[in-house]
Chains A and B, each alone.
Chain A
Amino acid sequence: MMMNGGEATEAELFLNCDDMSVLERQRVQLNYHQYHHPGFEPTLPCFFPNSSKMNVGEVDSFLPSAGLDLPEIYGELHGDARISVSPGNITTEFGNSKKRKFGCVDTETKVCNEKKKMMMMMDREVAVEEEEEEKSKVTEQCTRSIMKMKNKAKKEQNSCSNDSSKVTKDSQRTDYIHVRARRGQATDSHSIAERARREKISGRMKFLQDLVPGCEKITGKAGMLDEIINYVQSLQRQVEFLSMKLATVSPRLDFNIDDIFSKEVVSAPMMNLPNTVMPPHMMVNSGYPHDMVNSGYVHFNPMQQVVTSSDPLSCFNNGQSATMWDSEVQNLYTV
């Protein structure tokens, strides 16, 4: 990684956070700059990490670690309503943005002026309530600023970039986040807010893709939503079916809890056979890791287990365990 010595700490912070969200990285950046550049005017319109300090090499090394987060944001560059998420898109999209940059050089100063106006607007209009929206804007900023970093590093600095090379206020002072519109996109606050909202949605849909089985190939909101609806409905039907099955299987509604624990849930060093005498004994005596399991097992009377081994379904003698359950239930109320 090509790093200057002075940038080492900041770069380390960036590089060590492959799993950090872009937002956190932005915060780190903010803190760094706040620490190192305390005397900047709060009124400057653009938020940029200090462009004169970050060189191309650093940006290049920063980008791959940001690769996971970028595609879903840049997926909107093409302006359609679909979500296509694939890390392989990064390079092509950056290629596109570079091409676009050359056509937009002269509008940069215009954008800066517009941006100042927008800032005024934003200061008045943007309220602080939606912290999430700010966060995603910060996210946007970070990615956009990175893009701008790259562009600027390639050309000479024009007047706008000279202004923006100073770091503006930090968001902690005024609680507003100044947002720069992306290249070729509308600059009014509404569309920016809308874009932030859309990106939030696409981020969440990505999570859903991981959760719902068989969704990897589906791109597009409508298809994803279809799958989600089907999945939720199938889960609900399964619950119905299973409860019906349980109702028919056990006429007395008491279930053998130790079966469940031994088989499924806890990584127990115990054996799985429900009918042997040993397990409850052993489990009670050994230092069993889970408190909940302990509470379930404390009721077990090994003698009882022997007696009722022919009836494996009932694990509680109602008369004996009633009092114990009451105390347990009392504990559970506090949960």
Chain B
Amino acid sequence: MQPTSTMNEEFLKKWQMGLQMFRPSIDNASVSERKRAIKLSADVAMASLRKGTTCWSRALIQKTATEDNFLVRQMLSGIKEETLINKKLPKVMCHRKIVRRSKKILMRRKSRSAMEEVAAKAKKLVKRKTQGLRNVVPGGEFMSNNVLLIQETLDYIVSLQTQVNVMRSIVDAAEAGIER
């Protein structure tokens, strides 16, 4: 699925809305301030397109809400607060050394064949990569299983593509305008 033009337009609209709110305070601020404002409103616009249905959008909104509550509240006034909270997953806190040692012992006890070793290494690799993916996708730690993770990644990628497309076209237009 590729980003559709409807999605582009909606994102642009919401982004503009968000930028409008920044406009009075930002006109004379520094470049980094402006960049932060632009990125923030873009992120919130992207997340609000999903209206709280996906895990990553909720997590993204939560992240931005800590930076600028006012903006978020304005843009999401249509959505209930409860839907925006992600459920925290139960995490077992174990000392890493202890875990590693017990794993080593288990490995020694198990009888190993060549096939099993290869499979075990492959599984470890995949596990590490999925953890890496969880770190990249916002709200990854809230996704309980891998199926959900991949689904959310799909959606997140499509939304990111929308965001990038729209921003790029605006930059191009703005630059073209300047050159004239």
Chain A interface extent, by class: 35 or more
| Cβ-neighbour of B38 out of A80, A233, A246, A264 (below 8 A) | A246
Q: Are B161 and A235 in contact (CB under 8 A)?
A: yes
> Of B61-69, B89-97, B101-109, B129-137, which stretch is located at the interface?
B129-137
Measured between beta carbons, the chain B residues less than 8 angstroms from A253 are: 19, 22-23, 26-27, 34, 37-38
Closest chain B residue to A325, Cβ basis? B20
Are A81 and B39 within 8 A (Cβ)? Answer: no
Partner among A235, A260, A266 whose Cβ is within 8 Å of the Cβ of B157? A235
- Least distance between B45 CB and chain A CB atoms (Å): 11
B111-139: which residues lie under 8 A (CB-CB) from chain A? 119, 122-123, 125-126, 129-130, 132-133, 136-137
Interface size counted on chain B using CB atoms at 8 A: 67
Q: Is A254 in contact with B173, judged by CB distance below 8 angstroms?
A: no
Interface string of A244-267 (1 = CB under 8 A from B): 111111111111110110011111
Can you show 28 pairs from A to B with CB atoms below 8 A apart? A81-B126, A204-B151, A225-B126, A228-B153, A229-B129, A229-B133, A232-B137, A232-B157, A235-B161, A239-B42, A242-B164, A246-B167, A246-B170, A246-B174, A247-B35, A248-B31, A249-B174, A253-B37, A256-B173, A256-B177, A257-B16, A260-B166, A260-B169, A263-B173, A264-B166, A312-B177, A333-B77, A334-B78
Give 8 new A-B contacts, CB below 8 A, not counting A253-B22, A255-B173: A201-B146, A204-B150, A204-B154, A235-B161, A239-B160, A243-B39, A247-B38, A253-B26
Interface residues of B, Cβ cutoff 8 Å to A? 1-2, 5, 8-10, 12-14, 16-17, 19-20, 22-23, 26-27, 31-32, 34-35, 37-39, 42, 77-78, 119, 122-123, 125-126, 129-130, 132-133, 136-137, 145-147, 150-151, 153-154, 156-158, 160-161, 163-178, 180
